[in-house]
Amino acid sequence: MNFRLLLTLLLAPLLLSSCGYNSIQKNEEAVFAAWGNVEATYQRRADLIPNLVETVKAYAAHEKDTLTEVTNARAKVGQMNISIDKLSDPAAMQQFQQAQGRLSGALSRLLVVAERYPDLKASQNFRDLQNQLEGTENRINVARQRYNKAVQKFNSSIRTFPNNLTNNFLLNLERKEMFKADAGAETAPKVKF
């Protein structure tokens, strides 16, 4: 009897180390961290927008509708948050992406307004903010890609053997949702001045 107990104690760490429990946990934490980075880059953009709007207001006061639209879109984005427990909910992810898409569209229209006003383009403040927004949009794209990569790794880890057994019997974690392209994103936008 002591031999069996000793053998069980010696083999238990080996059996438990290959069950994938720890790797699944690490992968899920990587998803949460990547999601935090996505939110941080969106927040950076939301923080820059009031400065951009104020700069544009100074030069293009009569384009009030566009400025109002940007301000409203930013406010809606600020109200739309996804907690990490909703990362498995396709509807919540779609709502989040739609709010961000409306803000992106409003910003595009704002930049078209800027093109119409040469003095605004010449403003160093505006150029600096425009560069910051461009950099932020690039950061958002990188953060989304890293999030999708983390989600792919996590989803694979809970679906492959033997980790799928650990997930099914111990953890019961659900697949996470990836960022998807907006409808019509495959068609290049037409820019008109």
The whole-number pLDDT of residue 170 equals 87
The DSSP output letter for 182 is: P
Predicted pLDDT at 122: 54
Which pLDDT value is given to residue 191?
47
Task: Answer whether 119's CB lies under 8 Å from 56's CB.
Answer: no
Q: How many CB atoms lie within 10 A of CB 24?
A: 20
Residues of the chain with pLDDT under 50: 191, 193
Q: What is the reported pLDDT for 59?
A: 62
Kindly state the tokens that stand for 158: 């809970």
How far is it, in rounded angstroms, from Cα 75 to Cα 56? 18
What does the pLDDT read at residue 159? 93
What confidence score (pLDDT) does residue 1 get?
A: 60
Q: In whole angstroms, how large is the CA radius of gyration of the chain? A: 24
